[in-house]
Amino acid sequence: MYSGNLLSSDTYANYFFYWLHPRPAELAIGKANADTSPLIMYLNGGPGSSSMNALWTGNGPLRVTETDSGVEGQDFAITYETAISWAAAGDLLWVDQPVGTGWSYGEHTVTDLVEIGDELV
């Protein structure tokens, strides 16, 4: 898995936070293989809601669950579970967008849906 920041604008110092999970070769379906995996880009609704919610609790291979350990700071566990994710379908990419959403940051905040779409593209 990979994560980081992508420069989203030639005009502004805006960065989208992303998380990329390449499809593991053992999950390839049929004749497809990890080298020819389609890229599936997931954007949480809004826009303006972090896509990392889906990575950790929805369609991604990471699961954050409450453990009720009783020890402060150790109340959650993170597991890697490809069987219940979209990982068999292709390479998965989650993006926090627009700037100001989740861990995305920058010097310019968009003001309408056209600007949001232009910056994402």
- Residue-wise pLDDT tens digits, 45-75: 777 789 988 888 888 888 888 888 777 777 8
* 112, part of any domain: no
How many Å is the Cα radius of gyration of the chain? 16
* 68, part of any domain: yes
* 120, part of any domain: no
* 90, part of any domain: yes
* 81, part of any domain: yes
- Residue-wise pLDDT tens digits, 22-50: 887 666 665 555 567 789 999 987 777 89
* 116, part of any domain: no
pLDDT at 7: 93
Question: In CATH, what number is assigned to the domain containing residue 42?
Answer: 3.40.50.1820
* 113, part of any domain: no
DSSP state of 56: H
* 114, part of any domain: no
Range of the domain at 68: 2-8+16-107
Please count the structural domains in the chain.
1
Q: What percent of the chain has pLDDT over 70?
A: 90
User: Considering only CA atoms, which of 82, 105, 102 is closest in space to residue 92?
Assistant: 82
Work out the average pLDDT over 92-120. 89
Q: What are phi and psi of 120, to 5 degrees?
A: -65, -45
Q: How far apart are CA 8 and CA 1, in angstroms?
A: 21
